[in-house]
């Protein structure tokens, strides 16, 4: 592999882009379901029960969260590609079960099996295996960009696709996309380079209780808690304050997501080139804190709402790319999958906690209280993050702030 520190090698670009496409293919299928499922559910037996509808949507995250650590550890032991293929097969099986489900109970079963394909830790560990540290955040940013782009495309594409092929067709398409991702794993993703000096694996206790990994795991928990909590309120603001009907929300989300990715890359590249990742990391947390305060005192202007949303996604995307990169640098090589499994599990818990927090706070004290709570979470994370210290790179170059 070319050792030039200034640019990614063709092999690094190929590995990063192909692994990001695996996320994209899997998540596009998932995201296509979300905008239309609650409406479709009313047309099948059991779909009038809001609890069952919520369970059908949420059980995927539950099984994902439970299995991220076992799948990550398995990828350390048996290899990244076999675990990714097994997970994508499970995801496809669950999708096809949901496609032919006659009622809500079978839909829930299909969604639960979809969630057992918990490959996020294996994929991010493979990215870490295939890239040098000075380019790893850029590689993780490709994954983040693919996720954001698929989410935006799903908002645009889900309604016409549902009208054309129905919910069964959408679930079937999801399964086919998972099978296409298996093809990417087999024939496009390059093998990770062999490590010349492999480290000894860490014990589970060392990984779980490592103070710096704990800081980063708290960070991803806080980040996704805030994301889910505020999106209990933001769509309502777009309607009530922005005067934007629900079918037109994509006209805000799509440009905001795309512009935020364009704005996030220059500071990431500059920070890695100058070994100034820590200041960027703290600045991004501070930016998210500022956006919560901006939402809290938002006027009746759609322009200001879109501005705060854009700034939120810029900070969110910088942190979403930086956090797994930093986890992969801190974790011993033979235990990367396990460490990233813990990271992804914490992320899933944050998504669950944010939805619950946002719902409870909004119902009891109103939307502004959600942003106030989110601001407190961000302030707490910023204080915790200031205790991060410099850790030497495992390869040549300047120390990497974490």
pLDDT grade, residue 282 (50/70/90)?
Answer: very high
Average pLDDT over residues 165-175: 94
How high is the pLDDT of residue 208?
A: 84
* Rounded Cα–Cα distance for residues 289 and 378 (Å): 5
How high is the pLDDT of residue 4?
A: 58
* Rounded Cα–Cα distance for residues 122 and 217 (Å): 17
How high is the pLDDT of residue 196?
A: 52
Average pLDDT over residues 363-372: 89
* Rounded Cα–Cα distance for residues 41 and 27 (Å): 21
* Rounded Cα–Cα distance for residues 76 and 308 (Å): 40
Q: Which residue has the higher pLDDT, 389 or 351?
A: 351
Do residues 110 and 172 lie in contact, with contact meaning Cβ atoms separated by under 8 Å?
no
| pLDDT tens-digit map of 312-346 | 999 998 998 889 888 888 888 788 899 999 998 99
* Rounded Cα–Cα distance for residues 137 and 141 (Å): 6
Q: Which two tokens stand for residue 349?
A: 């818990």
pLDDT grade, residue 400 (50/70/90)?
Answer: very low
Do residues 357 and 229 lie in contact, with contact meaning Cβ atoms separated by under 8 Å?
yes
Average pLDDT over residues 259-268: 90
pLDDT at 3 over 60: no
Q: Residue 77 CB: number of other CB atoms within 10 A?
A: 11
Q: Quick one: angle between helices 133-187 and 302-330, nearest 10?
A: 90
| pLDDT tens-digit map of 100-154 | 999 999 999 999 999 899 999 999 999 989 998 888 888 888 887 787 778 778 8
pLDDT grade, residue 397 (50/70/90)?
Answer: very low
pLDDT grade, residue 310 (50/70/90)?
Answer: very high
Instruction: Tell me the percentage of the chain whose pLDDT exceeds 90.
Output: 41
Q: Which residue has the higher pLDDT, 261 or 183?
A: 183
Average pLDDT over residues 274-283: 85
pLDDT grade, residue 297 (50/70/90)?
Answer: confident
How high is the pLDDT of residue 152?
A: 74
What dihedral do alpha carbons 138, 140, 141, 145 form, nearest 10°? 140
How high is the pLDDT of residue 199?
A: 61
Q: Residue 135 CB: number of other CB atoms within 10 A?
A: 20
Nearest-CA neighbor of 23 among 133, 121, 136, 90? Answer: 121
| pLDDT tens-digit map of 176-227 | 999 999 999 999 999 877 665 456 667 778 888 888 899 999 999 999 889 8
Average pLDDT over residues 2-12: 75
What are the Cα distances from residue 121, in Å, to 162, 245, 275, 346?
31, 37, 26, 12
pLDDT at 359 over 90: no
Q: Which of 24-28, 256-260, 345-349, 352-356 has the lowest mean pLDDT?
A: 352-356
SS3 string, the chain, reads CCCCCCCCCHHHHHHHHHHHHHHHHHHHHHHHHHHHHHHHHCCCCCCCCHHHHHHHHHHHHHHHHHHHHHHHHHHHHHCHHHHHHHHHHHHHHHHHHHHCCCCHHHHHHHHHHHHCCCCHHHHHHHHHHHCCHHHHHHHHHHHHHHHHHHHHHHHHHHHHHHHHHHHHHHHHHHHHHHHHHHHHHHHCCCCCCCCCCCCCCCCHHHHHHCHHHHHHHHHHHHHHHHHHHHCCCHHHHHHHCCCCCHHHCHHHHHHHHHHHHHHHHHHHHHHHHCCCHHHHHHHHHHHHHHHHHHHHCCCCCHHHHHHHHHHHHHHHHHHHHHHHHHHHHHCCHHHHHHHHHHHHHHHHHHHHHHHHHHHHHHHHHCHHHHHHHHHHHHHHHHHHHCCCCEECCCCCCCCEEC
pLDDT grade, residue 14 (50/70/90)?
Answer: very high
Q: Which residue has the higher pLDDT, 228 or 15?
A: 15
Instruction: Tell me the percentage of the chain whose pLDDT exceeds 70.
Output: 92
Nearest-CA neighbor of 103 among 162, 39, 160, 56? Answer: 56
How high is the pLDDT of residue 188?
A: 95
* CA 173 to chain centroid: 21
Q: Which two tokens stand for residue 304?
A: 């200001």
CATH of domain 204-393: 1.20.1250.20
Q: Residues spanned by CATH 1.20.1250.20 within the chain?
A: 1-189, 204-393
Fold of 1-189: Growth Hormone; Chain: A; (1.20.1250)
Q: Residue 170 CB: number of other CB atoms within 10 A?
A: 23
How high is the pLDDT of residue 138?
A: 84
């Amino acid at each position: 592999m070319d050792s030039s520190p200034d640019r990614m090698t063709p092999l690094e670009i190929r590995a990063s882009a192909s692994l990001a496409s695996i996320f994209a293919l899997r998540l596009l299928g998932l995201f296509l379901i979300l905008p239309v499922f609650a409406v479709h559910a009313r047309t099948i037996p059991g779909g009038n029960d809001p609890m069952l509808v919520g369970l059908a949507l949420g059980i995927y995250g539950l099984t994902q969260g439970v299995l991220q650590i076992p799948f990550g550890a398995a990828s350390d032991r048996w290899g990244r590609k076999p675990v990714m293929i097994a997970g994508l097969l499970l995801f496809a099986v669950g999708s096809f079960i949901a496609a032919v489900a006659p009622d809500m109970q079978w839909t829930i079963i299909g969604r639960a099996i979809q969630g057992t394909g918990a490959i996020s830790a294996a994929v991010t560990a493979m990215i870490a295996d295939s890239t040098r540290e000075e380019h790893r955040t850029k590689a993780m940013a490709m994954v983040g960009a693919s996720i954001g782009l698929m989410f935006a495309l799903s908002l645009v594409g889900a309604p016409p696709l549902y009208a054309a092929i129905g919910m069964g067709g959408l679930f079937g398409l999801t399964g086919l996309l998972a099978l296409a991702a298996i093809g990417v794993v087999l024939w496009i993703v390059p093998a990770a380079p062999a490590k010349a000096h492999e480290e000894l694996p860490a014990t589970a206790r060392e990984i779980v209780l490592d103070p710096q990994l704990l800081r980063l795991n708290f960070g991803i928990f806080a980040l996704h808690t805030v994301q889910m909590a505020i999106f209990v309120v933001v769509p309502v603001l777009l309607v009530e304050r922005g005067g934007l009907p629900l079918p037109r929300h994509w006209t805000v989300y799509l440009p905001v997501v795309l512009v935020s990715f364009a704005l996030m890359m220059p500071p990431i590249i500059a920070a890695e080139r100058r070994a100034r990742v820590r200041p960027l990391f703290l600045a991004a947390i501070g930016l998210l804190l500022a956006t919560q305060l901006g939402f809290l005192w938002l006027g009746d202007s759609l322009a200001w709402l879109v501005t705060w949303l854009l700034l939120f996604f810029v900070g969110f995307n910088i942190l979403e790319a930086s956090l797994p990169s930093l986890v992969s640098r801190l974790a011993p090589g033979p235990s990367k999958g396990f460490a990233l499994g813990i990271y992804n599990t914490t992320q899933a818990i944050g998504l669950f906690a944010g939805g619950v927090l946002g719902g409870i706070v909004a119902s009891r004290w109103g939307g502004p209280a959600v942003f106030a709570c989110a601001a407190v979470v961000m302030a707490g994370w910023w204080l915790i993050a200031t205790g991060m210290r410099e850790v030497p790179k495992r390869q040549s170059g300047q120390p990497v702030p974490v």
